[in-house]
């Protein structure tokens, strides 16, 4: 057998062994959307490995945003609550400390 062919086969096998564990555990992301009875979106976000991850939004029956939450590996980082007009009214951090928002932030 040609020595270059022999080494290329061994190299290919080594690469497959080295790469296989990386490909065996990809993070699984799944989009989630739930709806009100009138068909408007109620809640939406992403599950990553079975836990809430990234931004999650909730909406009223009329379609106005009620809240935005940020998650990292299932742990809530912050919560922003909105009034019936869709304006920010309260921000809560991951320790549960809330702050009222009194202006538009313009």
Domain assignment present for residue 106? The answer is: no
Alpha-carbon separation of residue 2 from 5, 7, 13, 60, 73 (angstroms): 5, 9, 17, 71, 51
Domain assignment present for residue 71? The answer is: yes
The larger pLDDT score, comparing residue 87 to residue 11, is at 87
Domain assignment present for residue 53? The answer is: yes
Mean pLDDT of 12-31: 63
The larger pLDDT score, comparing residue 48 to residue 7, is at 48
CB–CB of 71/48 below 8 Å?
A: no
Domain assignment present for residue 40? The answer is: yes
**pLDDT score recorded for residue 101:** 87
Domain assignment present for residue 9? The answer is: no
Q: Is it the case that residue 97 has pLDDT exceeding 80? A: yes
- Across 1-106, the runs of DSSP E, i.e. the strands, are 29-35, 41-48, 51-59, 65-72, 75-82, 88-93, 98-100
Q: What pTM was estimated for this model as a whole?
A: 0.69
Q: Is it the case that residue 73 has pLDDT exceeding 70? A: yes
């Amino acid at each position: 057998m040609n020595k270059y062919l022999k080494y290329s086969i061994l190299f290919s096998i080594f690469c497959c062994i080295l790469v296989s564990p990386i490909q065996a555990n990809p993070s699984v992301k799944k989009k989630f959307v739930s709806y009100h009875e009138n068909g408007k979106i109620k809640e939406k976000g992403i599950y990553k490995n079975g836990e809430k991850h990234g931004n999650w939004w909730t909406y009223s029956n009329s379609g106005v945003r009620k809240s935005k939450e940020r998650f990292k590996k299932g742990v809530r980082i912050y919560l922003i609550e909105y009034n019936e007009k869709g304006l920010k009214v309260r921000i809560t951090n991951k320790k549960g400390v809330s702050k009222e928002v009194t202006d538009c932030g313009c």
